[in-house]
Amino acid sequence: MTTDNLPRRFAGRTVLVTGAGTGFGAEIAVRAAQEGADVAVHYNRSRAGAEKTAERVEAAGGKSVIVQADITHWDQIRAMADQVWTAFGRLDVAINNVGDVARDQMSWRDITEESIDHVLDVDIKGTMLCTHEFGSRMLEQESGGSIVNIGSTVIVRGSARAPQYAAAKYGILGITKSYAAAFAPKVRVNTFAPGFIETEATLSREDWKTGRAEKLRSMTPMGRIPAPAEVAGTALFLATQDASHMTGGYLVADGGYNMVGA
């Protein structure tokens, strides 16, 4: 799909994407801008990446603001939210994309207490604090808002490689459902669950380069692993008017790999 024929689902709306300096978050931010949004580009350490994403947002016609925060600290999330509301006057959509997948861990045997603490801190605490802070402020807006938490289909099969990652992503479902109930009907909260995505980080993994990619493609009915740009628009669907009756939901886009459902 070229940018010429993209829908304008976010014309006149403001979108915040956490972890937008690299990977999937960057592509969600750019896609939102291509569809008409002004975008707050969050980063923790990837300042150069955030600046590049902001440039792409503006090239697509959107206004951008760059914000920094370690999402495991509530005071930093509050400060980030203050910046966003000051810059835009409101926030219509928050995409909570930041997450740690314990990428360097190749076996459950290599798990450490430090890694467990870090993954749960970022993925569960961080997602919960962002949902809480952004959503409570959206409730004060006449127009409400929408929150999309980026989950994973790892919860379907679990992860023998990194159990802490599967546990953390499962926890996001609890966060999503709880705040969906708390914030309804004014603010919707949903989880988007991609399957494997060929981000730069994934492509650089040793196991990916030595057979895992081919194996996963062979197990995926669609026969391929997408680049992040392909599923960025799918994640954003949950924040559109077409999804106005969806809250507390779990939307999967994994090429048929898991075939979850009733």
- What 3-state class would DSSP assign to 15? strand
Candidates 43, 165, 179, 250; catalytic one: 165
DSSP secondary structure string, 171-209?
A: HHHHHHHHHHHHHTTTEEEEEEEE-----HHHHT-HHII
Residue 41 β-bridge partners: 17, 66
- The answer to whether residues 58 and 64 touch, using CB atoms and an 8 Å cutoff, is yes
* Tokens read off for 105: 């861990």
Candidates 56, 68, 48; CA nearest to 29 is 56
Q: How far apart are CA 217 and CA 219, in angstroms?
A: 5
Q: How far apart are CA 180 and CA 159, in angstroms?
A: 27
Q: What are phi and psi of 63, to 5 degrees?
A: -80, 150
10 Å CB burial of residue 174 (0-12, 13-18, 19+) is: exposed
* Tokens read off for 167: 């546990």
H/E stretch holding 39 reads: strand 38-43
**165 catalytically annotated:** yes
Catalytic residue positions? 165
